[in-house]
A and B are shown apart, each in its own frame.
Chain A
Amino acid sequence: MTDTSAPPTVTITVDGKTIEAAKGELLIAAAERHGIYIPRFCYHSRMRPVGMCRMCLVQVDTGRGPALQPSCMLECTDGMVVTTDDPVTKKAQEGVLEFLLINHPLDCPVCDKGGECPLQDQTLAYGPGESRFVEEKRHFEKPIPVSDLVLLDRERCILCDRCTRFAKEVAGDAFIHFMERGSTTEVNTFPDHPFASYFSGNTVQICPVGALTAVPYRFKARPWDLEEVESTCTSCSVGCRVVVQSSRNRVLRYMGVDSDAVNWGWMCDKGRFDFEAINSDDRLGDPLVRDEGLTLKTTTWNDALRRAATAIRQGLERSGPEGFAVIGGARLTNESQYAWVKLTKGLIGSDNMDAQLGDGLPAEAVLGLPRATIDDACRPGGTVLLLGPDLKEELPVLYLRLRHAVVNDGVKVVEMASTATSLTDGLAAASLRYRPGHALSVVRALLAGDADDEVGGVTPEAIRAAAGVLGDGPLTVVVGRANLAESPRSIAAAAAAIHHTRPGVRFLSALRRANVHGALELGLSPGLLPGRVTLDAGRDWYGQHWPTLPEAKGLDTTGILRAAADGKVDTLVLLGADPLADHPDRELAERGLGGARVVIAVDQFLTESVKQADVVLPAAGYAEVEGTTTNLEGRVSTVGRKVTPPGTAQPDWVVAAELAARLGLDLGLESTDRIAAEIERVAPAFAGLTWDVLSRPAGHDGVVVGLPRVHTDGEEAAEAGEGDEARDEAAGDGEAGAEGATAQEPVVERAETAAESAEGASPEKQPTGVLPPETGVPVPVWTVIEPPSPDAYSLRLVVARKLYDRGTLVRSSPSLAELAEPATLRLNPQDFERLGVAAGDDVRITSPRGNVTVPTVPDAGVPKGIALVHANLAGGRANVLIDGQSPVTDVRIELP
């Protein structure tokens, strides 16, 4: 049996033109693909058609004479004859428009949508010339807030069912709904149940009139004043494609772009509205230095750079490259990351560099395990094991994609989490509520398919049920950090165990911070060099390109902070990092920052950590720099520049270049496109990935770094995705990369190195004769000691994240800041009595590290014996409690 044949097509005639359509394709979509635009309001290609508005009526003849049919509901069948411009169709369209307008207010001049309104446009194109409606229009109370972020003007609503369908079908948050009936139908919420959805902003984008408006944008601009650039959202690592719109050098709005591989046009509200932070008055515009009086004072770049360079030089003189350390960098573009890696590792020679703040996973797990794309995880009929955070809270649009896959495409999810997630109810086919610290043994039991006794709090029945769901078909593991109070090693070890047991399994990283994956790919982690190679494997190759290299593997963030606390760090650079807020072990972060001789911060905001710096260099941020970013799949896509940074803030790579110059070193990087070219040339996994490739249609969705491109197995090759197509296309064009594109290397399975994920990406030969190293990072063996169960008086701590927290972006976006809840302690309802506390009581949580006092909330999603505290919320910092030395943290609760 072969299934290589293309999907069956049918031939139809539209306005005399013969066109091919896929069988089952909707007429409206097929016509549009061939340049014939049929007007519509309710149809949206990412939602189920409802055929409500009747605007898309066209005359269709399927052999029984022409009849008006809604083209948004009609599947193409062979021989169909369609006319979209005949008098009958025209009259019907005019009629529909007239009907829609009779109750539509004439407030276009003050409507946000005016100028980009499909109703306005279609009225011009298809509408009747004058109004025959002399009766009274429908009236509603002026805009009602359906949520904190979205207002609804019911008079303008044309009842297309887009927002309501989105809420139910796409977001799964059916909090807005049609109410009443007939001509009094309206969209509304239930009294006192607002449209509290992380995705509410999408409804504003898809509303075909100005009925739904976003509070942060309302009345800010007229569409014709807006300039725009296409970009990638970096509010989390999903990397939704967006356009950034600005007016008079201020960013005013983001709109989702329909990227088939990633976001399908959607965004989360955090990503959509945190543009407010760009315009924040709190942005750093000028360098600061600490004066004798120990306060930070504004100064010139010249002064600040001189002081920074002096400090670095003195530090190097005192203790060599080991005394220099960099924490952060996940917020940077790939190009800026490369510049900082080259400065740190290739010029200064220090390997103490880490983009993760102890809240992620070992880099070897992310880079070494075979990677999956979002499409892999969502492929119809597959299975997903979630061994990571609540996706809705951390990677919202990945949640939407996975939700769609479960609801529509039969994808099954097995969830492993210590507390309930947003997949638990209704989406996950099986949930394993394991006790923190026992991920590895639970995974082992799961892989074995059975257990004799309870494992890590999970019953044998639950194990068997989950194993049954897991089956032995295609499996994708979403792996990340669900609980900051649980050691990342046990998660990494569990992932590695799956990798060793399940051939063909792939891993989708759920690390959430903006460009953390770019950082790892580019070596912003100890022991790594750019292009997915280890320091050891890349030594010879990079020796050809960079002046120097670190001698041995350096320290990660926790290691750096420890060394700093011990007085062993002379210069600590915080590259857009706030360890006091983000490092799981707050106490260590405090000692580390206090112990470093000099702290240099490159940042956009004066965060708690930056306030401790001696030199503060203001950085340009999102929408102010151009370059590329890498999402959690390893997909590289562009970020665009639309506005200028505040004051004299500079792109991060410029700061690196300036510092290098002051140190008497030459970074050799003069512009972002030059940096991009150098990455393509030297970083093995990036071979062939030029900006040129990204600017082509095939590269529009971005290009995945280091996916297998050439396989002996035909099916796998087909799986490799559109990114490779783009790269192959580019490779075919020029000489560079040609070899990589044609090499027919079979996949070599090496259990120890697990490098097959990068197979085939071998770049061109270098004139020097030294071949670039093979890409791939070995997966080490993580030893894990499973902790004993907590004693009878203690609770085991889970620290998870919420979408809206006290993070800089949210805090600096007035519309979002309000949405962050205050910190609470969530407990199983049955634990209250045992602990002698009542719901709502303020209680003191005490760990070996510290204590916080927060109110309690009963939560049936929290198992007995677990204390759930969310990270980084106002009123109680969870990281005060976490004992970073220990695989888990147990706490005690008492009334203060």
Chain B
Amino acid sequence: MTDREIPRIVSARWDLADGHTLERYRETGGYAALEKAVTTMTPAQVHEEVKAASLLGRGGAGFPAGVKWGFTPPGVFPRYLVVNGDESEPGTYKDRIIMERDPHLLIEGVLLACYAIGAAQAFLYVRGEMALAQERLAQALNDAYAAGLIGRNILGSDFSVDVVLHWGAGAYIVGEETALIESLEGLRGMPRLKPPFFPAAKGLYMQPTVVNNVETLSNLPWIVANGGAAFADLGAESSKGTRLFAVSGHVRNPGVFEVEFGTTTFRDVIFGERYADGIRDGNRLKAFIPGGASAPWFYEEHLDLPLEAGAVGAAGSMLGSGAIVVMDETTDAVKAAWRIVRFFARESCGKCTPCREGTAWLEKILRRILDGHGRPADVDKLLDICDNISPSITFPPKQTTICPLGPSAVSPIASAIMRFRDEFYAYCGGGEITVPVNGKAYLSTPPTVGANP
């Protein structure tokens, strides 16, 4: 961990009681970037700054925002901007804080993005269960309209755009960008197949659409104000800027932390005093989820990996949505796996057979095992069912499904079985241990400690 003071790019106003008001936002430098862009920069220049910043998407996939914006086909209008505020991945908690405590930051980011890509309308899709975020955003939008910051001829310029607040109604899958678009069209939130439906080319109403995460867009005011280069000065080679991580579970000081991206390590955020401050009750670490419920688990030996997409990927997992869930030695691995699988089984949209039927089946078997009716053969059966959802159980996953939700249910099971197979057998009444499915290890980088006792 570097000790240098890093700017708080997206969390600057979190400590202010009135950081969500337009007044306080403006007093603390808010909407200056918008004014700068609209009065002194061309849309292309704003886009250039974002490219120079190498801002990676914070929604999970980590795709560079500037590159994504460039995929909108030239000459095809209208274009739309859709803000993904559906934050629902277990362990993930960061977008909601931004929306509740600094809604204008997000709105300013939205306006900058619309300006840069030429979006004629923006839709702010907030998770349905987040009533306070909806209230704060609605108020912020109303105030910003009244101040001439949104709407027709923003700040007296030729830039005009509406931002429509929209919210969901309880469906995790709607966080997937094409499902989000379907939902925004009033449909069931079922993902579209990519290709051919890459939103940048064929998105909302089959028009070019940029979908960005709340945190991603909230970086834009700082980038425009300070320049893309200043942003790129922070962080590591492949992961620039700062990033929010929510550290939850068995830690002394759970919280959402803005840390320098790419240089900070898992050990820093989990054990560092400034951050989560170590495992509670002096217990030992058993495992941790590095990037939300869909990510394969990490263990002790991964603590010194930097929070950097490449390194984490090479080690067989992902940073995903910036959700670190820490499990200490008291954790029941079978139960933890079941909890996560139940989530995916409940949240499957039902479109793809392997996901719809497979996740539900996995959940039933795990529940049966937890209820004491497991059989030793169930363990390999679980893995084979996993293999039918995500062939050869590798990471990043191969899919027999349209979107990665189905394979996401495979991560916790494969993680738990590979590392804690004995716990499964303990539930199942012991028995012979057979080889993992297809004879392949789960992680693309084999764990350094043997999986079986």
Contacts and interface: CB of A to CB of B under 8 A. Distances in A.
Interface of A: 50-55, 57, 67-68, 70, 73, 75, 88, 91-92, 94-96, 98-100, 102-103, 132-133, 135, 158-159, 178, 180-185
A182 B391 CA distance: 21
B361 interface: yes
Contacts of A54: 352-354, 400-401
Contact of A57 (B350, B368, B400): B400
B381 interface: yes
Q: 8 closest A-B pairs (Cβ-Cβ)? A: A95-B388, A99-B357, A183-B360, A185-B350, A182-B348, A135-B364, A182-B350, A99-B353
Contacts of B196: 73, 75
B193 interface: yes
A99 B398 contact: no
B152 interface: no
B351 A52 contact: yes
Contact of B193 (A57, A73, A102, A182): A73
A180 B368 CA distance: 25
A181 B350 contact: yes
B356 interface: yes
Contacts of A158: 353
Nearest to A185: B350
B155 to A, nearest CB: 41
| Dominant secondary structure of chain B at its interface with chain A | helix
B381 A132 contact: yes
Interface centre among A132, A135, A158, A183 (most CB of B within 10 A): A183
Contact of B356 (A88, A95, A98, A185): A185
B24 interface: no
B356 A183 contact: yes
A215 B418 CA distance: 53
B193 to A, nearest CB: 5
B402 interface: yes
B34 to A, nearest CB: 39
Contacts of A51: 193, 402
Contacts of B398: 67-68
23 contacts: A54-B352, A70-B193, A92-B400, A94-B388, A96-B353, A96-B354, A99-B354, A99-B361, A102-B357, A103-B357, A135-B365, A159-B353, A159-B356, A178-B350, A181-B171, A181-B188, A182-B345, A182-B347, A182-B349, A183-B348, A183-B357, A183-B359, A185-B356
Given A95-B389, A159-B353, 6 more contacts: A53-B353, A67-B398, A99-B358, A100-B353, A181-B171, A182-B346
A98 B368 CA distance: 20
A133 B382 CA distance: 11
A185 B357 CA distance: 11
Given A96-B400, A100-B357, A103-B357, A159 B193 contact: no
A68 B400 contact: yes
Interface in B354-380: 354, 356-361, 364-365, 368
Contact of A135 (B348, B359, B368, B388): B368
Contact of A98 (B193, B351, B388, B391): B388
A808 to B, nearest CB: 44
B399 interface: yes
A182 B400 contact: no
Interface centre among A55, A88, A96, A158 (most CB of B within 10 A): A96
A182 B402 CA distance: 14
Given A70-B193, A182-B345, A91 B391 contact: yes
Contact of B361 (A67, A135, A181): A135
A178 B349 CA distance: 11
B413 to A, nearest CB: 16
Contacts of B402: 51
B195 to A, nearest CB: 9
B207 to A, nearest CB: 18
Nearest to A135: B364
Contacts of A159: 350, 353, 356
Contacts of B400: 54, 57, 68, 92, 95-96
A94 B364 CA distance: 20
Contacts of A183: 345, 348, 350, 356-357, 359-360
| Dominant secondary structure of chain A at its interface with chain B | mixed
B352 A52 contact: yes
Contacts, number: 91
A94 B356 CA distance: 16
Contacts of A57: 400
A695 to B, nearest CB: 41
Interface in B299-356: 345-354, 356
A51 B193 CA distance: 8
Contacts of B351: 50, 52
A502 to B, nearest CB: 35
Given A181-B188, A181-B349, A183-B348, A68 B354 contact: no
Interface string B52-63: 000000000000
Nearest to A99: B357
Interface in B174-210: 188, 193, 196
Contacts of A70: 193
Interface centre among B196, B352, B356 (most CB of A within 10 A): B356
B148 to A, nearest CB: 40
A52 B353 contact: yes
A180 B346 CA distance: 11
Nearest to B392: A88
A92 B171 CA distance: 28
Interface in B406-443: none
Contacts of B368: 135
A102 B381 CA distance: 14
A100 B358 CA distance: 9
A135 to B, nearest CB: 4
B102 to A, nearest CB: 33
A178 B188 CA distance: 9
Nearest to A177: B188
Contacts of A68: 391, 398-400
Given A52-B351, A103-B357, A159-B350, A92 B401 contact: no
A328 B365 CA distance: 69
Contacts of B358: 95, 99
Contacts of B347: 182
A321 to B, nearest CB: 67
Contact of B391 (A88, A178, A185): A88
A92 B196 CA distance: 22
A96 B406 CA distance: 13
Contacts of B387: 91, 95
Interface centre among B347, B348, B350, B365 (most CB of A within 10 A): B350
Interface centre among B171, B349, B361 (most CB of A within 10 A): B361
Contacts of A181: 171, 188, 348-350
B186 to A, nearest CB: 13
A616 B340 CA distance: 77
Contacts of B365: 135
Contact of A99 (B188, B388, B391): B388
Given A181-B171, A181-B349, A182-B345, A95 B354 contact: yes
Contacts of A67: 398
A1 B309 CA distance: 53
Contacts of B349: 181-182
B352 A102 contact: no
Nearest to A101: B357
A50 B197 CA distance: 12
B143 to A, nearest CB: 37
A511 B270 CA distance: 80
A88 B394 CA distance: 14
A30 B347 CA distance: 35
A245 to B, nearest CB: 31
Contact of A182 (B360, B361, B364, B401): B360
A639 to B, nearest CB: 41
A76 to B, nearest CB: 13
A847 B261 CA distance: 87
A185 B402 CA distance: 17
